[in-house]
Homo-oligomer: A and B are copies of this chain.
């Protein structure tokens, strides 16, 4: 039986690979078992965030050396999914996902299961189109099959897709969905989310999904978490769920965040895993958290629970920096943990103005 594990490392700066390097050197992690790395870096999480690429370069270089392979071979096989933006109390970090053989005496499943896939390259003109939707859906199906996870047992699909900058858009041989890099980044996240929803049958095949991108906000996946960046050129997919084909001490839960204040959603996701916040976790409970994913989006109505917010009118600070900071405070307050993967840009990833929380923890 397969057994999944997750190790989380602090990131002093985006070039700091000392955490994983030490874990490999000490034997804590066997580099052959690494199947994905997901983390939060220091940048702004927008088009001109180069901290994602910096960390990808450093970690892939480390892994290439450890495995005696080229960097290209490593990045073709292992998704490195980094999201920029650690506003407020959030702390830069990365989580390393491994698949090994069941340890002797391992607790019987169902347990945390991991599947990964990388789509074919996507050109700037593919971003936000049916091509990206279909490529994502295919990759999700492939990852689920590989990991023996049924659609109903999927708790998180983390995707990283391309975000062409202005130069790439200008150099495109075909027209892109928009000429504005920040907006095209949103189209890409949206199309990828609809691709996840399609693969999981959260939405049917009757829709014109390309037309629905950024338009039909009522169509969404409740387990998709999508990031984008200039540093990748294909959609990289990591599917996390529960499967009886896996063993080990880890489990995953998720809940929809109904809106940006949904502390009850956080509470429920924790309780699904046996935690009992009152109102916060104890230090011992916090230590059992392996990795936490949060997605949320500033409500396009301009209102949170009937009150005006200013996130979408602000020309100094991007709306995604606003929402990540707020959600970071809310989730860290209850969990006691600031190494959280909190990400904005939640188009079609939960209801408008909301999102999702997914938690991997020791049972």
Write the residues of chain A forming the contact surface with B, with a CB cutoff of 8 angstroms: 10, 12-15, 42-51, 53-54, 57-58, 61, 86-92, 165-167, 169-170, 179-182, 230-231, 260-264, 266-267, 277, 279-280, 300-305, 307-318, 321-323, 325-330, 332-334, 336-339
Known: A318-B315, A322-B325, A326-B329. A307 touches B339 (CB 8 A): yes
Q: Which of B12, B49, B230 touches A308 (beta carbons < 8 Å)?
A: B12
With CB as the reference atom, state the residue of chain B lying closest to A280.
B263
With CB as the reference atom, state the residue of chain B lying closest to A323.
B88
Q: Which of A42, A87, A92, A315 has the most CB of B within 10 A?
A: A315
The minimal Cβ–Cβ distance linking A299 to chain B, given in whole angstroms, is: 9
CB of A260 within 8 A of CB of B89, answer: yes
With CB as the reference atom, state the residue of chain B lying closest to A342.
B329
CB of B334 within 8 A of CB of A279, answer: yes
CB of B53 within 8 A of CB of A53, answer: no
Q: Which of A57, A302, A317 has the most CB of B within 10 A?
A: A317
Number of copies: 4
Q: Which A-B residue pairs are the 9 nearest by beta carbons?
A: A46-B315, A88-B326, A325-B325, A326-B329, A329-B329, A263-B333, A330-B333, A91-B307, A166-B302
Chain B residues lying within 8 Å of A327, measured Cβ to Cβ, are 329
The minimal Cβ–Cβ distance linking A149 to chain B, given in whole angstroms, is: 30
With CB as the reference atom, state the residue of chain B lying closest to A259.
B89
CB of B13 within 8 A of CB of A333, answer: no
Chain B residues lying within 8 Å of A53, measured Cβ to Cβ, are 13-15, 54
Q: Which of B42, B92, B261, B326 touches A336 (beta carbons < 8 Å)?
A: B261
Chain B residues lying within 8 Å of A47, measured Cβ to Cβ, are 313-315
CB of A326 within 8 A of CB of B89, answer: yes
Chain B residues lying within 8 Å of A42, measured Cβ to Cβ, are 48, 50, 310
CB of A57 within 8 A of CB of B91, answer: no
With CB as the reference atom, state the residue of chain B lying closest to A263.
B333
Known: A87-B322, A316-B44. A307 touches B50 (CB 8 A): no
Known: A12-B167, A329-B330, A330-B329. A261 touches B50 (CB 8 A): no
CB of A165 within 8 A of CB of B313, answer: yes
Chain B residues lying within 8 Å of A333, measured Cβ to Cβ, are 261-263, 266, 329-330, 333-334
With CB as the reference atom, state the residue of chain B lying closest to A300.
B179
Q: How far is the CA of A333 from the CA of B257 in the complex (A)?
A: 12
Kindly list 10 other residue pairs between chains A and B, CB separation below 8 angstroms, not including A261-B329, A262-B333, A327-B329. A13-B230, A42-B48, A57-B58, A91-B307, A266-B333, A305-B336, A305-B338, A316-B316, A326-B329, A329-B333
Q: Which of B46, B230, B279 touches A264 (beta carbons < 8 Å)?
A: B279
The minimal Cβ–Cβ distance linking A178 to chain B, given in whole angstroms, is: 10
Q: How far is the CA of A321 from the CA of B309 in the complex (A)?
A: 15
Chain B residues lying within 8 Å of A231, measured Cβ to Cβ, are 15
Known: A301-B170, A334-B279, A338-B261. A182 touches B315 (CB 8 A): yes
14 A-B residue pairs with CB within 8 Å: A13-B165, A15-B54, A45-B315, A51-B54, A61-B61, A87-B325, A88-B323, A90-B309, A166-B302, A261-B333, A305-B336, A307-B339, A327-B329, A330-B333
The minimal Cβ–Cβ distance linking A172 to chain B, given in whole angstroms, is: 12
Known: A57-B58, A326-B89, A329-B327. A166 touches B313 (CB 8 A): yes
CB of A91 within 8 A of CB of B279, answer: no
Q: How far is the CA of A332 from the CA of B313 in the complex (A)?
A: 20
Q: Which of A48, A57, A301 has the most CB of B within 10 A?
A: A48
